[in-house]
Structure formats: C-alpha cells, structure tokens
Structure 1
Amino acid sequence: MNQEVLINVTPRETRVALVENGILQEVMIERISSRGLVSNIYKGRVCRVLPGMQAAFVDIGLERAAFLHISDIVNAHLHHGEIAIDDKTESIHHFLHEGQPVLVQVIKEPLGTKGARLTTQIAIPSRYVVFLPSSPNMIGISTRIESTEERKRLKEIAWQHMGITEQAVIETSKQGETEVMQAIATVYNDQAEQLNHYGFIIRTAAEGITTEMLCADMNFMCRLWKDIQDKESQAPPCSLIYEDLSLALRTVRDLMGTVVDKIKVDSPIIFNELIDFTNKFIPDFVPHIEYYTGERPIFDLYCIDDEITKALERKVQLKSGGYLVIDQTEAMTTIDVNTGGYVGSRNLEETIFKTNLEAAQAIARQLRLRNLGGIIILDFIDMLDPEHKRQVLRTLEKCLERDRAKSHIGEVSSLGLVQMTRKRTRESLEHVLCENCPTCGGRGSVKSVQTICYEIFREISREALLFDAKQFLVLAAQEVVDIMLDEESNHVAELEESLGRSIRFQVEISYTQEQYDIVPGPFNT
C-alpha cells in the first residue's frame, strides 16, 4: 500500500492529510488560536507558599501565577533533589520555599480568574507509551489491554529495553504490581546505580505492535527527556522548557515505524524543523521528508479540499448508487445504509449484501476521515443470510485494521443494528471546522415558511386583544412575505375583516426564515 502525507502550512493553521493509494483517509487540523497549555513543561519559580492551603503559587511566565498543591509534588524531582512526601500532614514549607526554581507541568488550563494547575509529576505521552521521568523502573500497562499474554509480552519488551535481566523479569513476575521495584532491587543487590531513573506506561495503542516499534518509541522518549534536561539546566526561571509538539512534528513522531513513502510539506520553515527534529530523534526517517515546490497548492494533488467539504455533508454517496446518512450528536453517531438507486442484477438479498459490503468499506473510511469517536450505531440493510452478516462485519473489521484509533465492534443485534465504539483521539472534523447554525441553533432543520405564516396569524390575533391598534406591520424574511402576499393572501384578507384592522408587510433582508416582528400602529402612509 502506498501511503503519503501532505502537510499544508499557513501562518495561522496547519493541515495534515494522510493519503492511501491516492485516496484521502485522515485529516488533522491545528490552529494557533486553539493550542492550549496542558502538557507544557515550565521551569517555574515559587512566588508564594500558602501553608494553610498546603499549596504554592508558581510563576511560569504567564499573566497569572499557577497553582501547585502538595498532593501534586509527591515523588517529584525538585532542584534540591529527590523528595517523597509520605506524611501528608507535613507542611509544604518542608518542600518548597519562595524563590525556589521547580520543574512543573500544566495539568489544567487557566480558567476565568484562576491560574493554571500544575504538577511536578511529569508525564510525557508519545504514540505508544507515556514517559514517567520521576518513576524509576515503573512499567504500567493500559487496563484496556485485556489479554494476559499480550500484557506479559509488552512488559517483557519494556523490561529488556530498560536493561532488566531475564532473572529480574522472572522474579518480578512472581510479585504483585506494587512489589515490582522491591523485586528488582533484590535481584540487583540494591545496586541503585544500575537501576533506571524513569518508567513507562504502555498505552492501548501499543497492543499488537512489534518489538522494534515499541523500542523505537521508548528510545525516542529517552532522547526527548535528555533534551528537556539540557534545556532546563540552561534556562532562567519562568521559562517554557517543553511544549507539546506541533501538529507537523507530532505527525512525524506518530508515523515512525509505519510504512510511509513520503511526507511532503509546502513550508520551507516547517520542512527545516522536520529535518532537524528527525535528525535528532529519528534519523532513519529523514529520507521520507520532502519539500514540496510544485505550482499547484499541495492539497490540490488529491483534491483534498473537495474531500474535506464532502466529509462535512450528512449524505455520502456509494459507487453502486446506494448511500450513507451520517448523523453526529453529542450522545452518539448513527450511520444509516440505504440502497438508493442500486437495484442489482440477480435478487434482492444479493443486492442488499453487495450494498452492505460497499457500505462497510465506506463507513471505515468515514470514521477515520471525520474522526468520529464514542458510541457509533450502524444500521445496515437487513440481511437474512447469517453468512452475509458475518462477511459484512469481517469486511468492516478488516478495513478498520489500518485505523490508528482503537475500535470495538459488536455483533448484529436482533433489530439488525451493529453497535461499535471508536476511541476519541481528538475533536471530530465537524467540531473543528464548524459551529452551530445560527438559524436552526444546531437542530439541523428550520420551521417551514407555511408554519411561520400561521404563527404570524396567531400572534396578530393575540396582539389585537392586547393593543388598541388600528393596523399591524409585519416585518419578516422575503420568502415569508412572498407567501403572505400570494398563497396566503385570502387568509390575510379574512383576518383583516375579522379583526377590523389592516395588516401590512415589510421585507427585512437581515431576518432569517424563522424571524419576524409584529408592530402595532398607526403608521404614516
């Protein structure tokens, strides 16, 4: 399979497109205005200690000082050495003092008048692991990896990567998760200098990956931490030491170890950043990066912008003539499959089966392209043959194997529905690019013109009882006024006669279809 990544860079936005065999499969968008502070690492300076709150305010160079509670400095690496707070009744004065430099990470964005929330328990995520520089020799496995054999395999890979001998692995396998450190220390006869000063949590995405891919990710994180330490030693207090990677750099980081033929970027500045980054951390990946100098915009190569526009539409056409209807709500996403204009050439069951097979492939692509996550309900066309049901589900599973977001697919229910989940990795494409319609308020529909006309009639009758007016002026959208003066003109005349009041209409070009106002008069003619 040919995989190509296109990176389009503008001053305020970066867009990344993953193309497989010439077909867009994933889109990632990052805007400067929406980048947050969470995960950023700062060299802060304690500006105030509050023993009554067991907390401190730390200046990290932002408008407001950030907040650090004593519970967030357990096992933290401070400038005066390693500390471990076992007795929570001890005063924070024992660990922090004003003017002290401290390495901290943001865990909560500033909100309103409150500053950011900090921790000294650094955790840096990558594609397959979370690096824990203050947790010596800790190896954790995501609870979502349920297979005992897979958990054991991943843990052994991590131990061996960290230089723990087979004997240590055997000894620690006899212990509980909380006794791993003691078992390793015993094997090494308490020779602390031989132990690593960091740990890892292996993420759900690592399930099933090769030894080489996991080790490459762990090596990358070790080199990254060394780079952070070098920057910390040279930086003044209140400095940003590490910012979560930009979208372009995260793309390179997350795609290392996968089969990518080319990464093309249309910005010389970002191209140089990518080359520097890969030379430093992933040198084998450098030949895959190319600076795009073509005359056409880079996203025109595979009609990416057109595909993005289609991915925001509710209806997805299938080549056979069938179509999908995708409805994304806060609670879940539903996808309905319809035969549309496809009539097949043999019988109804065969037509349904072929439509569902094509739909399964299209659904897998749309999930990745739109980045739909959470609970997803698939309403395939009802199939009678159990083998057809099995093949449709197998096709869906096979197509989702290339998806980096983990998913789980259930069986066909008694109602003919397939329930599945897909891990949320970031905001959906619709949430990134769109906002609620100001006309319908997110409902996805507006009242018909006829409905609005009848509402106006009722409102005029109501106001006639409240106001001693001789006439009424109706301000409304063009389409509403047109109907009032044409199809509903007889009803308008009847209402004028019954109320004994005249009714005039005036077009307001700024009004939406549902907006109108009724003004009692008299009015100057």
Structure 2
Amino acid sequence: MSKILYIDASHPNETRVVLKKDNHIEDYEYESVNNTLIKNNIYLGKVSRVEPSLQAAFVDFGRERHGFLSFNDIQSDYYQLPQSDLEKIKEEEEKVREELSKESENNENQILEGNEEIKINDPVEKPEDENKETKLTEKKFPSKRYKIQEVIKPNQVILVQVLKDERGFKGAALSTFISIAGKYIVLMPNTAKGGGISRKIFNPGDRKKIRKILNEIEIPKEMGIIVRTAGSNKTKNEIEGDLKNLITVWNSIKDTALNSIAPSLIHQESDIIKRSIRDMYDDETLSILIEGNEGYQKAKNYMKLMMPKQLKKIKKFREKTPLFFKENIEKKLFEIFKSEVKLSSGGYLVINPTEALVSIDINSGKSIKQKNVESTALDTNLEAAEEIARQIKIRDLSGLIIIDFIDMLSFNNRKQVERRLKERCRNDRARIQIGRISNFGLLEMSRQRLRESNIKWTIKLTNETLALKVIKLIEIK
C-alpha cells in the first residue's frame, strides 16, 4: 500500500502533480499559467449592485467578471443596521451554535454508550428523508429575517473569499465567511464557532478523542476551527502548532486588508506544490519525488515550515529521462482523455459526460472466469466500483453521475458493491453523496466540483446521422 507523490515542475508554464499507489494513479492535479485557480483566494471587494430578485449582491473584486455573493453568505457584521439590532442577531446566532454543538456531542456520547436508536450520519450516504432534515434546520434561523436591500448597500467595501471558480459565462461565487486551510485544521477567523470536526470523521470514538483535544486547546473567542480528516490521529501539540501558524496568516491578511484599496487581492491560496503537499501527503507516503530546481526548493521550504521531521522524504529527480516518462505516468495520464477504461479482469467502463449528467456503463467484456453469471457480474462490478472511484477523482467528474452496473439478482451482492464504492470514495476531498442500486441496476451519485475539468466536452447534433456525438476538446493555450 505504498504511496509516492510525483511533482513535475520542470516546465515554466505548467506544474503537474500525481499521487501513485500500487501502480495506480490515485490523484492528479495540474496548474498552468493560463489556468490558475482563484478558489479560496481572499479579496477586498466593493458591492457593485444589489439584486433584490435574487437576494444577492454582485461584487467587483478586481476580475473582469463581477462575483456573485448570496445573502446567506454575508456575515451579519456587514449589515448596515443600528447597533442594538446587530447585537440581537449575534445573540440569536450564538444560541443556535450552542444548541447544534450540544446536540452533536450528546449524539456521539449516546452512540458510545450503545444506544442503537441514534444513527451515525455517514457523509457519503445519501439521506433518506431529506424533507424532515430541512424542516428541523428551518426552525433554527433567527426570529426576524431581513432582505438584502435593507442591510447591504452599493459601494460598500467587503472582504470576500472565492467559493467557486469562474466557469464559462458564470462569475465566481463569493462568501464573507473566511476559512483558511492548514495541514490538520481549517481556521474560520470570523466565525465564533469554537471547535468542530470534519463530517468525514464519522467514527464516534475518533470524534470523542478529537473533541477532548479541542477542549484542551485555547481557541480565540471570535474564531472557529474544524479538524480535517488528516488531523484525526494527530496529537494536541501538532494541532495547536497548526492553529498558531494559521492565526499568524490571518493577522497578516488583516494588516494587508487595512492598507489596501478595493478592489484588490489580499491573500492568495497556496500554489499547487504547497497545496498538494498539504492535501495529498500523509503518513503512508514513502517519498516526494520532484523534477525541477525551483519546485524542489519550494517544496523543501514548505515542508521545513510545516513538518520538519518529514523533510528527508523530499527527493530531487536528477536523471535525463523526464520523470513522468520514466515512471510510466505520461501514458496513464493520456488515458484520462479516452472514454473507455479497461479493467484487469477483461471488463471495461464507458464514461460519457453529457450536458445534464455523467453516465458510466459497465460491461463484462472478456470477463468469463467465474462459474456462473451472478459471480461474474459481482466480481466485475466490485472491480468497476474501485476503478470508478479513481476515475471520477482524477478526471474531476462532478454533478450528477449515473452508473449502470451489470444486473445482479442477489440483494446482498448489490449491498456489497454499494459498500465498496462508498469505501473507495471516502478519501475523496470533494463532497460526495451515493444512493442505492435500483431495480434497473442504476446507481445515482453526486460529486462536488473542485475545479474546472481539463477535458472540455461539447455535444453536437449532426445532419448526417441525427445522433448525438460527444466531441472532446482538450484546451491547449
């Protein structure tokens, strides 16, 4: 189960990062001069227009297209209201936060005591009764609801963070609730939330251990933190050290914002090398192999600052043959642009992104080793579930995904395939919800968009065949 992180920083215009595990590509990130991400960047912006019909504001934050700021993403500190009204809103928000934290803590304690009525919320599982959940959350809003045109005015200066990158003709989605990611925790400097735990850590024992550490750590009153999945097995000192680093970053952001004129960039999210070490590197990673002097120095300096004990794992690639060719990564990356993916058993997947959804079809192909049809279907589906989890991650497929599994008669076999897919999707950074396999053999799942995919898809209806043809356009600038 050895992992190796490969970084190709030898080209001045492009940097590529690949995480390889047992000869399979587990994760892939790239960044080019023409395609730099602005997600998580912090800007000082100016409200250019308030749109009552959308209950949102458009913010000029220094880009060609103005950003979209929903009313729900505006912190109450920015409301232009009398001080007494603002204090009342703050009190109500504080009450709601306390109720939610007590509720989650009680649930965890009851599960540990063996109360079977309280269920663990699996983050990958699609909730069955969604209406019930929304009713519960509706009650928890403050008593008086304002409209955006009453509290936000044009030309108001506002500190915003990019939630979603610009895509097509859409502008970036913004939020005033700032969050700064570290290796083990995420700091929310303007949300007085105390200590929270990632939903992906859903084991009650782990959550109780982390909560104990959070109660011992001194978190500033006006701030909140969330422990990331990478911090689930870390000590108090490691989490506290990460918190101190992030508070230093926030203080420098505040100083820059106070001395800047809107619109301007205040804080840039780490570049691809730092980001990949922060998000992809873990204790299972044997080494980080880097091609390119500048990239090697950057990685070394970042590791020295964040994890000095792990510095020896960073190695420079010095051979004449390019790193990705020597490790056979280039060939595997080229397969991302193919719609057909071969499985080792002889079966294959056909991946077709369309305008509305991504369809994945599983075919048994030459897979005929098993004694009967049901066993062949189960084995091919289990192998396909592992490969699908890998493919949606490295291709960054998002939105609604429909998987057409080979028909299985046994209910237990269907559950086994569902379980395998959920297990493999757990270490995906994107938010994922997975449904059940229906009577037709179809499984619905949804995946959060992290970045714009490196494959451009257009659908054309041709006059000759009157059939839909999916044409892949690879962006080369």
Q: Which of residues 311, 316, 334 in structure 1 aligns to 2:336? A: 311
Contact preservation (8 Å) 2:206, 2:232:
no
- Stretch moving more, 228-237 or 359-368: 228-237
Q: Which of residues 447, 458, 468 in structure 1 aligns to 2:464? A: 447
1:165-209 superposed Cα distances (whole Å, 9 cap, x missing partner): xxxxxxxxxxxxxxxxxxxxxxxxxxxxxx55522245xx64x96
Q: Structure 1 vs Structure 2: percent identity of aligned residues?
A: 29
Question: 1:5 corresponds to which residue?
Answer: 5
Query: Normalised by the size of structure 1, how large is the TM-score?
Result: 0.60
Contact preservation (8 Å) 1:75, 1:84:
no
Query: Quick one: distance in 1 between partners of 2:32 and 2:304?
Result: 26
Structure ID, larger Rg: 1
Question: 1:458 corresponds to which residue?
Answer: none
1:218-243 superposed Cα distances (whole Å, 9 cap, x missing partner): 64253033145357658953575421
Question: 2:95 corresponds to which residue?
Answer: none
Q: Which of residues 142, 158, 161 in structure 1 aligns to 2:214? A: 158
Aligned-pair CA distance for 1:351: 2.9
Query: Quick one: distance in 2 between partners of 1:118 and 1:382?
Result: 44
Aligned-pair CA distance for 1:424: 3.4
Give the SS at the match of 1:319. coil
1:237 aligns with 2:260: yes
1:462-508 superposed Cα distances (whole Å, 9 cap, x missing partner): xxxxxxxxxxxxxxxxxxxxxxxxxxxxxxxxxxxxxxxxxxxxxxx
1:278 aligns with 2:303: yes
Query: Quick one: distance in 1 between partners of 2:411 and 2:420?
Result: 14
Contact preservation (8 Å) 1:248, 1:274:
yes
Question: Which amino acid in structure 1 is aligned with residue 215 of structure 2?
Answer: W
Contact preservation (8 Å) 1:26, 1:370:
no
Q: Which of residues 347, 363, 371 in structure 2 aligns to 1:338? A: 363
Question: 2:454 corresponds to which residue?
Answer: 432
Give the SS at the match of 2:234. helix
Contact preservation (8 Å) 1:324, 1:335:
yes
1:389-443 superposed Cα distances (whole Å, 9 cap, x missing partner): 344334334444444445444333222223333443333xxx323353xxxx456
Q: Which of residues 122, 133, 141 in structure 1 aligns to 2:189? A: 133
The aligned runs of 1:51-450 (5 Å cut-off) are: 74-75=76-77, 86=87, 104-107=159-162, 122-126=178-182, 129-136=185-192, 138-140=194-196, 154-162=210-218, 196-201=221-226, 206=229, 210-212=232-234, 216=238, 219-230=241-252, 233=255, 237-238=260-261, 240-344=265-369, 346-427=371-452, 431-436=453-458, 441-442=459-460, 447-448=464-465
Give the SS at the match of 2:454. helix
Structure 2 segments unaligned to the other structure (5+ residues): 49-57, 79-83, 90-145, 147-154, 472-477
Question: 2:99 corresponds to which residue?
Answer: none
Change (3 A) 1:435 1:62: closer
Query: Quick one: distance in 2 between partners of 1:432 and 1:227?
Result: 31
Aligned-pair CA distance for 1:19: 0.3
Give the SS at the match of 1:331. coil
The number of residue pairs the alignment matches comes to: 393
Contact preservation (8 Å) 2:5, 2:281:
no
Contact preservation (8 Å) 1:74, 1:84:
no
Query: Quick one: distance in 1 between partners of 2:447 and 2:237?
Result: 26
Query: Quick one: distance in 1 between partners of 2:375 and 2:18?
Result: 36
Query: Quick one: distance in 2 between partners of 1:331 and 1:66?
Result: 24
Query: Quick one: distance in 1 between partners of 2:411 and 2:17?
Result: 40
Contact preservation (8 Å) 2:47, 2:158:
no
Change (3 A) 1:212 1:330: farther
Query: Quick one: distance in 1 between partners of 2:392 and 2:64?
Result: 40
Contact preservation (8 Å) 1:161, 1:215:
no
Change (3 A) 1:149 1:420: farther
Aligned-pair CA distance for 1:285: 3.1
1:362-400 superposed Cα distances (whole Å, 9 cap, x missing partner): 223222222223332222211233443344334334444
Contact preservation (8 Å) 2:68, 2:173:
yes
Give the SS at the match of 2:285. coil
Question: Which amino acid in structure 1 is aligned with residue 344 of structure 2?
Answer: K
Question: 1:461 corresponds to which residue?
Answer: none
Question: 2:121 corresponds to which residue?
Answer: none
Aligned-pair CA distance for 1:135: 3.7
1:225-282 superposed Cα distances (whole Å, 9 cap, x missing partner): 3145357658953575421111111111113544211112212112211222222233
Query: Quick one: distance in 1 between partners of 2:30 and 2:167?
Result: 24
Contact preservation (8 Å) 2:42, 2:162:
no
1:15 aligns with 2:37: no
Change (3 A) 1:394 1:66: closer
Aligned-pair CA distance for 1:155: 4.3
Query: Quick one: distance in 2 between partners of 1:68 and 1:381?
Result: 44
Contact preservation (8 Å) 2:19, 2:280:
no
Query: Quick one: distance in 1 between partners of 2:66 and 2:413?
Result: 62
Question: 2:41 corresponds to which residue?
Answer: 40
Query: Quick one: distance in 2 between partners of 1:61 and 1:371?
Result: 28
Query: Normalised by the size of structure 2, how large is the TM-score?
Result: 0.65
Contact preservation (8 Å) 1:24, 1:302:
no
Contact preservation (8 Å) 1:373, 1:423:
yes
Contact preservation (8 Å) 1:360, 1:392:
yes
Query: Quick one: distance in 2 between partners of 1:59 and 1:320?
Result: 54
- Stretch moving more, 57-66 or 262-271: 57-66
Query: Quick one: distance in 2 between partners of 1:68 and 1:409?
Result: 29
Aligned-pair CA distance for 1:300: 1.2
Structure 1 segments unaligned to the other structure (5+ residues): 49-56, 77-82, 90-97, 164-194, 453-511, 513-525
Aligned-pair CA distance for 1:72: 5.4
Contact preservation (8 Å) 1:314, 1:327:
yes
Aligned-pair CA distance for 1:289: 1.6
Give the SS at the match of 1:434. strand
Change (3 A) 1:65 1:229: farther
Aligned-pair CA distance for 1:210: 2.0
Query: Quick one: distance in 1 between partners of 2:70 and 2:362?
Result: 52
Question: Which amino acid in structure 1 is aligned with residue 187 of structure 2?
Answer: F
Give the SS at the match of 1:354. helix
Aligned-pair CA distance for 1:5: 1.0
